Chain A
Amino acid sequence: MTDSKYFTTNKKGEIFELKAELNNEKKEKRKEAVKKVIAAMTVGKDVSSLFPDVVNCMQTDNLELKKLVYLYLMNYAKNQPDMAIMAVNSFVKDCEDPNPLIRALAVRTMGCIRVDKITEYLCEPLRKCLKDEDPYVRKTAAVCVAKLHDINAQMVEDQGFLDSLRDLIADSNPMVVANAVAALSEISESHPNSNLLDLNPQNINKLLTALNECTEWGQIFILDCLSNYNPKDEREAQSICERVTPRLSHANSAVVLSAVKVLMKFLELLPKDSDYYNTLLKKLSPPLVTLLSGEPEVQYVALRNINLIVQKRPEILKQEIKVFFVKYNDPIYVKLEKLDIMIRLASQANIAQVLAELKEYATEVDVDFVRKAVRAIGRCAIKVEQSAERCVSTLLDLIQTKVNYVVQEAIVVIRDIFRKYPNKYESIIATLCENLDSLDEPDARAAMIWIVGEYAERIDNADELLESFLEGFHDESTQVQLTLLTAIVKLFLKKPSETQELVQQVLSLATQDSDNPDLRDRGYIYWRLLSTDPVTAKEVVLSEKPLISEETDLIEPTLLDELICHIGSLASVYHKPPNAFVEGSHGIHRKHLPVIDTGESPVSSGPAANIEQTHVIPSQGDLLGDLLNLDLGPRSTCPRCPPCRWGLWTLTVLIACNSVLLLQVWLPAVKAKGLEISGTFTRRQGQMYMDMTFTNKALQHMTDFAVQFNKNSFGVIPTSPLPVHTPLMPNQNIELSLPLNTIGPVMKMDPLNNLQVAVKNNIDVFYFSVLIPLNIFFVEDGKMERQVFLATWKDIPNENELQYQIKECHLNADTVSGKLQNSNIYTIAKRNVEGQDMLYQSLKLTNGIWILAELRIQPGNPNYTAKSTFLRMSFALSNILL
C-alpha cells in the first residue's frame, strides 16, 4: 500500500467529496479520508472547513487514525476555537488511558493546541501527568509545561507547574531530567533575572549524573544548561570540567561542541599555571579537529566556532594548521571558513606552507574564494614580516596571470603592504601601472590611485595616469572620487610646476560640479589650504601616516567573550550576539565569561564581576551612618568593596597603611563599547583629584573625550576639562588626574557620597556612578580650638551621637593619632582615664560641617570605641542631616 495516491487530487468538488468520505460508516474509509485531508494540508490547501468532520473521527481506538486527527487539530484548532472545545473531552479521557503511549500522546497534542479555552482544561491532566508513574508520560509532560508557558506564562506560575518541573530535575529517569532541564532553560530565558533553574552544587551534581545516562539530545540540553552555571571557586570548576571532558569523545558533534563551550567558559576560572589547566587545553584540540571529518554542514558550524576559539585561545590549535588546508571537493562555505582560520593561525613557523597553499587556491574557480585567497596572501605579508617579500613576489606572479579579479584584489592588498612597510617594495609600482586599464572595481581603482598619489615623485607619468581617471570623474564612485582628489593634491604638492592645471580641474570638479557634500567639503578644505598656506598644506596632506595594525577583522574582545558563551549556537555561527537576530524577550539576557573571584587583581578583572561591583551600594545613605560606618573588618576581606562601605576610620587607617589606594573599575568595557575607566579619588596638597585610567578595549580609536558630573551632595565639579588630547588607540591606556572642587550645585544624593558621572567620546556617551570616599572631603584646616571644642562638644545634643566599635586594630594611641592626622583628622586633646587612652578629635568637611569625635583605646584589648558627634555649621546641608 502506498500513500502517494493521496497527493493526486481530482480538483473540483474535492472538499465535498472528502466531507462525505469522512462521514462514511466504514472505519477504513474514514482513515483513508483523513489521510487525504492531511496530504492536502501538507501541500498548502485550506481544508479548515472540514474541521467538525475530522474531529468526529477522533473517537477511535485506532492509534494511527488518532494521531492523524491530532495532527489536523494542531494545525487548525486555532482557527476554530469553538469547535476545538469538542475535542477536549476526548483529550481528557485519553489522559486517563491505561496505555502510557496514549496518555503521553494526549498531553503532547493538547499542549500544541494554542486555544485559550483548551488551555484551561489542560491544567488538571497535565498536573497528573507530571506525576505519572510512567517516565515516558513524565518526560512528555515536562515539555508540555514549556508549551503552556509559551501560551500563558502567568497560568504556569499560578498553577505551580514551575515547581513541579523543578522537582523533575531529581527524577530517577535521565530523559525526564533532560527534558525538564530543557523546558526550564527555555522558560528562564524569558525571565533573565529569576533564578528559575536554581543551579546550586547539589542540582549540578544531579545533572552531571544524568549526563552520563541520557540520550545524546538530553546530554546537549544538560551541557547547555551547565554552561550557564558559575562555579563558586576553581575547585568546583575543575571537578565539573573533569566530569564533562569524557563528552568530548561523543559521536554527536553537538554534544562535543556543547562540552567545549562548558570547558572554554570554566577555563577562565582555573589558574593558568596549574597542570590541570594545561592538560585541559591539550584535550580540547583533538575533538575540534575531529569535527572537521564530519558532514559538511557540521564542519561549517565547527569552523565558525573554531574561528572564535582561535581568537580567544590561539594556543589550542596552533599546531594543527594543516587540517585547515582546503580540500578540492569541500563545499565553498567550508573553504572560505578554513581560509579565515588559516590566516589566524599563520605564523613564522608555518608561513612557507601556508603561502604555498594560498598560491594554489588563487588559481581555483570560485571567484569569492580566489579573491579571499589573494587577500589572505596580503594579510600574511602584513602579519609575518619575514614572509613579506615572498608574499609580494607571489602577488606579482598572480598579477601576471592577468585574470581580472585576481589583479584587482592583488592591487588592493598591495596598497596595504605599502602602508605596512613603507619605502620597501615600491620597485613593483611599474608592474602595477601596467594593469591600470583592466581595473573596473571601485576598491581596486581607489587602491591604484592611492598608490600613484602616494608615490607620485617616483612615477614619471603620474600626472597622465591621474588625468586619465579624471575624464570620467562623475561616473566614479564616491570612494574613487575622494581618493582621486587627494591623490592629485598630493601630486601637486610634490610637483607643483607641471600640475597646476590638473589640480584646479579636480578642485572645480569636486566643489562646483558635485552634489556630494563630503566631496565638496574636502575639495574646499584643500582649496583653502593650498591658496592660503602651501607649506602647511604640505604638512597636512603629506604627513606621515600611522602604520596599519597586524591583525585585521578580529572580533571585538567583549563581543568575542559573549560569543564564546554561545559556542555551538546560531549566535556563534553568525558571529553576532543573539539579540541581533532574535526577536522578543528570548536572548536579551547577555552572557558573560565567568571571572576568578580571588580578588587578586581588581583592575584587570573581567566584565562579569565589574558589573556586580558597580551595583554594590551601601544600605542607607545618611551622613552620620556613612561617616561612622566603622565596621573595620580584617583587611583581606574584600579589597573590591567600594571604599564608602568602610567608613571613615577604616578608610583612613587603610590609607595610612597602604598609601596607594587600589584603582577600581568604574565603567567596564562591556558597558561602554570598549572604553574601560578605572579610578580612585585622592587629596593632595589641599586639592581633590579624581585619578583615572582610560583603557581602549575596542578596535577603533577614541577621541573627543569630555566629562560631566551630575549635581551631588558636596557640589563636586571638575575644575578643568579632561586632559586627553591625543586619540586613544586600541589597547592603549592613558592615566590622568582630574582636579576637582566643591563649588558646584548641591543636591542630596543617596547615598550621600554618590557621584554620577557622564563620559563622552566620539562613539557615545556613557554613564556610571561612583562613591566618593569621604576622607577626601576632610579639609586641612580641620583643627578646632580646644576651648571651642569643649563648648561645642557639650552643646551637641545626644541624638547626634553615634558609637562604633573598631575591631582588630592593633595600634597604639600615638600611631593612630599620627595616621589620622595624615588624613586631616586632628587630635585636639588626649587623656588617660582608668588605663584607657581617650583621644578627642575634630575634622571639617569641604562644606563647612565639623565633626567631633572621641576615640577610646584600651591597651591589651584591641578594641577601639569611637564616639562621634558633629555640629551643624552649614545651613545648606542642615535639614538633610537631621
Chain B
Amino acid sequence: MIGGLFIYNHKGEVLISRVYRDDIGYVAQRSFMVTSCIKPATLFNVNLFVCRRNAVDAFRVNVIHARQQVRSPVTNIARTSFFHVKRSNIWLAAVTKQNVNAAMVFEFLYKMCDVMTAYFGKISEENIKNNFVLIYELLDEILDFGYPQNSETGALKTFITQQGIKGQTKEEQSQITSQVTGQIGWRREGIKYRRNELFLDVLESVNLLMSPQGQVLSAHVSGRVVMKSYLSGMPECKFGMNDKIVIDKQGKGGDLYAFCCSGKQSIAIDDCTFHQCVRLSKFDSERSISFIPPDGEYELMRYRTTKDIILPFRVIPLVREVGRTKLEVKVVIKSNFKPSLLAQKIEVRIPTPLNTSGVQVICMKGKAKYKASENAIVWKIKRMAGMKESQISAEIELLPTNDKKKWARPPISMNFEVPFAPSGLKVRYLKVFESKLNYSDHDVIKWVRYIGRSGIYETRC
C-alpha cells in the first residue's frame, strides 16, 4: 500500500510530507548504519530523519529537477516506486515499496486533489501552505496505513472542519460515523430545502481526427451528465435517456415515447461509467439508472459514443508550398447543424513553421492573428449559425534555413461550443421519489441543458 505522500512546489521543496510506513527509505537506513559502523542507537535520531528525506530527495533529484520531459508517471528509484501527478506547478507524489494497485494510487491522488479543491479552492503553493494543518488532518482521515478510506467531500465536511467539533451531541456523532462508513456515504440525512430543484447538464466533448482528404480517422464523443441537486430528505431518483438498448426493449413493450423515437432518435452508447451512488447491479440487469443523489454538484455519469456522431464543423485545409520560402494556406470551415442554432467561441488554430518570418491573413468573418510565440495563426469567430461556411487564407513567408528536418505539419485544431449534444443524447426523464417527505416528483423544478464542446478536434493538413 501507499507508504508515504509528499507534496512539492515547482522548485522541489517539500510542502507536505506524510509517511505511513517505515519501509520507504528503510534499506537506505540499514545500509547506512552498517557501513558507518557506529553504534546504531546514537545514530538513530539522525538516521530516521535522513532516510525519510532520502525518499523525498530522490524524487526531487530524479523527477522534478530532471531536464527531460516526464517519461513516465511511475518512477522506480532504488526499488522505491514514485507515483506523481502535477496540478499547475504543484507535484503530488505517492511513494511505495510494495506491489500496490497502481490504478488505485493514481485515482487516490486525483481524489486528493478534488478534496483539497473542495476545501480551499485552487491547488497552489500559497493555498497549501495556508492550509497545511487541514491537509494533514485530511490525510490522516482519508489514508490509513496507506489504505484509502472514505474520501467523499460531502461526508468529510461534516466532521473535518477547521472549527473543531466540540459542540456535537452523541446523536450527531453517531450520525457522522454511520455516514462515513455507511452504504450511502455520499449523502447525509436531514437535508431540507424550501424549494426542491435540480439542474441537469449534458456536457459533451466531441473528438475528431480527420485526414486532409476529409476522411474521418477517428471520432468519438465523451459525454458527462452533471447534476446539481437541491432536494430534501433521501430522495430516490431514476434517470432515463434515449439509450438504444432501452428504447428497443421498450418499443416492443408498447411504450409510446419509445415507440415514437425507436430507430431514428435513439443512440448507441459504447460504454458508460457511473458515480458510486448509482446501483450498478441494477444497471447491469435492467439497464435502469437509479440512485440516491449526493447533495449539490456531482458527475452522475460519463459515457462514450462512436456511432452517428453529428460533427458540428468540417475543416477543409489547403496548404501549398511556393518555393522554399513561402507557404500558402487556405482553410474553409463549414458548420453542419440546424440553421436556427448558434455555435459560439469558435477558434481555429493553424500551425505555422518555426522559421516563419511574416504572415498575411485575410478572413471573411471574425478576427485572425498570427501569434509568433505560439507558432500559429489563431482565427476567432464569436458566433456562427448552422449550415454556413467561412474561409481564411494566409500567406506565410519563411526564412531560408539549412535545417534538413522537414516541418512536422501539426494538425489544424478547432475549438467551439454548440447548444446541442453531438452524440444525439436526449434526457427522457428524471424522476424523484421521496416517500417520507411530502413532496412529489411534480413539485421538483427541473432544468436540463445541453452543451457540446470541442475536445481534440483536429484535421491534418
Contact = CB atoms under 8 A, between A and B. Distances in A.
Contacts of B48: 78-79
Interface stretch (B124-132, B244-252, B339-347): B124-132
A412 B123 CA distance: 47
A853 interface: no
A863 interface: no
A253 B406 contact: no
Interface in A280-337: 286-287, 289-290, 293, 295-298, 300-302, 322-323, 325, 327-329, 331-333
A114 B140 CA distance: 17
Interface stretch (B11-19, B232-240, B323-331): B11-19
Interface in B43-88: 44-46, 48-49, 53, 56, 69-74, 76, 79, 81, 83, 85
A4 B301 CA distance: 38
A301 B106 contact: yes
A67 B140 contact: yes
Interface string A549-589: 00000000000000000101111111000100111101100
Q: Which of B46, B71, B104, B106 has the most A CB atoms < 10 Å from its CB?
A: B104
A173 interface: yes
Nearest to A174: B183
Contacts of B69: 332, 366
The secondary-structure label for the interface of chain A is helix
A730 to B, nearest CB: 29
Interface string B197-231: 00000000000010100000110101000000000
A125 B126 CA distance: 40
A570 B74 contact: yes
B276 A216 contact: yes
A144 B147 CA distance: 11
Contacts of A297: 73, 83, 85, 106, 109
B173 A286 contact: no
A758 interface: no
A356 B212 CA distance: 12
A136 B158 CA distance: 14
B110 A4 contact: no
B148 A574 contact: no
Nearest to B20: A112
A112 B22 CA distance: 10
Contacts of B16: 42
B112 interface: no
Given A63-B166, A143-B145, A251-B273, A101 B173 contact: yes
A298 B283 contact: no
A4 B102 contact: no
Contact of A68 (B49, B72, B133): B133
Contact of A296 (B73, B166, B185): B73
B257 interface: no
Contact of B218 (A100, A250, A323, A402): A323
B177 A300 contact: no
A695 B408 CA distance: 49
B45 A360 contact: no
Contacts of B109: 297
A252 B98 contact: no
A98 B302 contact: no
B411 interface: yes
B304 A293 contact: yes
B180 interface: yes
A175 interface: yes
B133 to A, nearest CB: 6
Q: Which of B14, B48, B76, B132 has the most A CB atoms < 10 Å from its CB?
A: B132
Interface string B162-178: 10111010100110111
A100 B173 contact: yes
Contacts of B14: 42-44
B103 A215 contact: no
Given A43-B14, A100-B177, A586 B103 contact: no
A48 B46 CA distance: 10
A43 B13 contact: yes
A254 interface: yes
B280 A64 contact: no
A224 B101 contact: yes
Interface stretch (A241-249, A387-395, A648-656): A241-249
B392 to A, nearest CB: 21
B107 interface: yes
B321 interface: no
Contacts of A578: 99
Nearest to A289: B271
A838 interface: no
Interface string A836-865: 000000000000000000000000000000
A583 B162 contact: no
Contacts of B140: 67, 70-71, 108
B431 interface: no
A583 B79 contact: yes
Interface string A630-649: 00000000000000000000
A799 interface: no
A141 to B, nearest CB: 11
Contacts of A16: none
Contact of A101 (B106, B132, B165): B165
Contact of A328 (B137, B147, B299, B410): B410
B145 A147 contact: yes
A332 to B, nearest CB: 6
Given A215-B276, A251-B276, A570-B100, A333 B72 contact: yes
B1 interface: yes
A75 B147 CA distance: 19
Contacts of A333: 70-73
A741 interface: no
Interface string A87-109: 00000000000111100100010
B451 interface: no
Interface string A390-416: 000000000001110000000000000
A38 B132 contact: yes
Contacts of A401: 404-406
Contacts of B110: 295, 298
B89 interface: no
Given A3-B132, A136-B180, A573-B74, A363 B406 contact: yes
Interface string B274-315: 111001110110000000000000010110100000000000
B100 to A, nearest CB: 6
B159 interface: yes
Interface of A: 2-4, 6-7, 35, 38-39, 42-44, 46, 48, 61-64, 67-68, 70-71, 75, 78-79, 98-101, 104, 108, 111-112, 114, 134-137, 139-140, 143-144, 146-147, 150, 173-176, 179, 182, 186, 212-217, 220-221, 224, 243, 245-247, 249-254, 256-258, 286-287, 289-290, 293, 295-298, 300-302, 322-323, 325, 327-329, 331-333, 353, 356-357, 360, 363-366, 401-403, 566, 568-574, 578, 581-584, 586-587
10 nearest A-B pairs in the assembled complex, by CB-CB distance: A286-B271, A136-B177, A4-B129, A254-B103, A246-B284, A254-B104, A246-B280, A578-B99, A217-B148, A2-B130
17 contacts: A61-B166, A68-B133, A79-B45, A98-B170, A175-B182, A175-B185, A213-B183, A253-B107, A286-B271, A298-B103, A300-B73, A332-B71, A333-B72, A402-B404, A570-B96, A582-B99, A583-B27
Given A175-B180, A570-B96, A581-B76, 19 more contacts: A2-B129, A38-B132, A38-B136, A135-B178, A143-B145, A175-B150, A215-B151, A216-B107, A249-B274, A250-B280, A286-B270, A290-B270, A290-B273, A295-B110, A301-B106, A327-B209, A332-B70, A568-B101, A587-B98
Interface of B: 1, 13-17, 19-23, 27, 44-46, 48-49, 53, 56, 69-74, 76, 79, 81, 83, 85, 96-104, 106-110, 126, 129-133, 136-137, 140, 144-145, 147-152, 159, 162, 164-166, 168, 170, 173-174, 176-178, 180-183, 185, 209, 211, 217-218, 220, 222, 270-276, 279-281, 283-284, 299, 301-302, 304, 404-406, 408-411, 413, 456, 458, 460
